[in-house]
Structure 1
């Protein structure tokens, strides 16, 4: 019923981190520029110096800022940020132009996902294949758009995990934040029957160890997904895969 003092502190910390983080990601404070002093932030946000210092440590850990004696806390270039950090992803999503965001997301998926599917076909174990199949079956059984989106995310995450390569896993982990937006848009279309056929082709290629088949099926799935989003949003935005 009542929050503990520690929970309240965490809530305040999260709120302040969100406000400062979003302002940095949005470009209100540019790379190389100095944040307001601790005391100024305390006054602007009506929080304690302890909270501000913890927020600065958090943002430092995410690569957004760096603190140096006598020179204050400066914003680092975006190339130095941990772009796969869940909070940074969320702040990006909240401040981005949606079409630009979708274009960048598809550029990443087109570059990586066919290779991940091919690798999964070579390395996936029974549990990996079962999880991919669970995602597919959830999509097939979904009655609501939200159910379809949740199952679609499970399907694609499971492919990245099935690679057995831990360097692919952060991409899978970011999908719950980043793909939910594009999948939610796409779920409003009338293409679900075709999408199920395409997902099944990817599943079967991975399950039978057909690496090149998995790569080709994923390319088809991504190309048609991009076409669906272009049609739904009414404009060109994404770099499509070849093939």
Structure 2
């Protein structure tokens, strides 16, 4: 077990510089990022409440509120006489936006891309097929608008990324299955880095066609065609990102 009382603010609870709404949110950010980074192992206790107050320069009220937030995210378990201990990652709420963001911050790019593509391949083709069956007129308008924003982005990488994220999020909303919605919300955060890498490539004209194929299949209410179009898009996206990353690495060497 690590001696968590010896952890210092400089080495463990580093301020990530994230924008937060309030003081206890800022403290939760710092502690949460430390937990996800592995500075305190699962099963180990957080420093005592008094020690945390000293390290963070805040009151006990702020610490307690921050810890309550981390309990809600599944990162820690707090019990009388036992203290507050880090839970095994299997119990973390990985769909929580903060937890996801912290995982992205501390995960190497290779692992991050691999896991994101695994999740996309497992969910996105079926989400597209379901959207083709369940989407209503409002969904069709939103998807068409998001796709047009991708076309209008032209060479503007930032605008392309935002439009691309919106398009894929709208697919999950169009399933009208609330169990798919958190995945779409997750991708709003988790795919940003992936899409930012992909935006640097020269494949955009082909990607526009592939997204149009997905859209057309959903609008035509053809689930099998939507599923096939999504699989094609994902297969080429994997190859595109691998090629772009290799080119960037070569340019930097």
Measured against aligned partners, the alpha-carbon deviations of 1:20-71 in whole angstroms (never above 9, x if no partner) come to: 0011001111111111011001001111111000011000000000111111
Q: Where does residue 43 of structure 1 map in the other structure?
A: 54
1:176 — aligned with what? 188
Q: How many residues were matched structurally?
A: 227
Unaligned runs of 5+ in 2: 1-19, 248-253
Deviation of 1:10 (Å): 4.8
Using the alignment, how far apart are the partners of 2:50 and 2:104 within structure 1?
29
- Structure 2 CA distance for aligned equivalents of residues 10 and 221 of structure 1: 38
Q: Out of 82, 87, 91, which is 1:76 matched to? A: 87
Runs of 4+, deviation exceeding 6 Å: none
SS at match of 1:234: helix
Structure 2: distance between partners of 1:56 and 1:45: 13
Q: 2:162 aligns with which of 150, 175, 200?
A: 150
Distance of 1:104 and 1:171 partners within structure 2: 13
Mapped partners of 1:10, 1:99: distance in 2: 32
Structure-1-length-normalised TM-score: 0.91
For 2:61 and 2:129, the matched residues in 1 are separated by 49
Tell which has more relative contact order, 1 or 2 (C-alpha 8 A, sep 6+). 1
Taking only aligned residues, the RMSD between alpha carbons, in angstroms, comes to: 1.2
Q: For each residue in 1:82-131, what CA deviation from the matched residue of structure 2 results, as whole angstroms up to 9, or x when unmatched?
A: 00101101111111111101110110000000000001101111111111
Gaps of 5+ in 1: 1-8, 236-243
Out of 173, 179, 201, the residue aligned to residue 161 of structure 1 is: 173
Aligned partner of 1:96 in structure 2 is 107
- The normalised TM-score by structure 2 is 0.88
| Deviation at residue 11 of structure 1 after TM alignment | 2.5
How far apart, CA to CA, are the structure 1 residues paired with 2:239 and 2:214? 18
Q: Which residue among 36, 39, 47 is the counterpart of 1:28? A: 39
2: distance between equivalents of 1:222 and 1:10? 36
- CA distance in 1 between partners of 2:60 and 2:193 (Å): 36
Q: Aligned partners of 1:176 and 1:112: how far apart in 2?
A: 14
